[in-house]
Amino acid sequence: MLYGDDNIDFNSGGMFMEACPCGSGKSYSECCGLFIEGKALPATPEQLMRSRYTAYTLLHIDYIGRTMRGAAAKNFNPRETENWARHIQWLGLEVLRTGMQDNNGFVEFIAKYTKKGTTEQLQELSEFHRKDGKWYYVDGKHPSANTPIHSTPKARRNDPCPCGSEKKFKKCCGQGG
């Protein structure tokens, strides 16, 4: 192991574990890996968006395709997507705001990356729909300051976790935050 590798962390047992690329502070296997590897379903649009970002960073293009519906899925070209993603060095993800109402959700984010030595960023307001208990990416737009969104209030430590786990926030998604 090399010192200074920001993607490596120690778990409580002293074992190395790789930090999830989505920036949650959790290990990949405790975070987006659960969804990408089919061990769990994302409970919120934000979890799906973070796992899709992680899938791009790790070239899990099949996951990207499986988590789309509508026009996004119709226009998806796995070969072009993989070719594009192979030439990107991902630098980080910042979630700006999220919202959810019934079976519709939104996540605004900034994904930073370098391509051919130039640092760039993608800012998008992604739209998600839930069908049969699963969230899907359906569209993405460049947001404006007055783009409406139904904000989901931040959970307090002792509130039920918004992911639907029925645990307290502090014992679930609020760990390490």
> What pLDDT, on a 0 to 100 scale, did the predictor assign at position 154?
55
Hunting for tokens 């919120």 — which residue is that? 44
Hunting for tokens 């030439």 — which residue is that? 87
User: Chunked in runs of 10, what are the mean pLDDT values of the chain (177 residues)?
Assistant: 37 58 94 96 96 97 96 94 94 93 93 93 94 95 60 57 57 56
CB 50 within 8 A of CB 57: no
> What pLDDT, on a 0 to 100 scale, did the predictor assign at position 4?
35
> What pLDDT, on a 0 to 100 scale, did the predictor assign at position 2?
28
> What pLDDT, on a 0 to 100 scale, did the predictor assign at position 93?
96
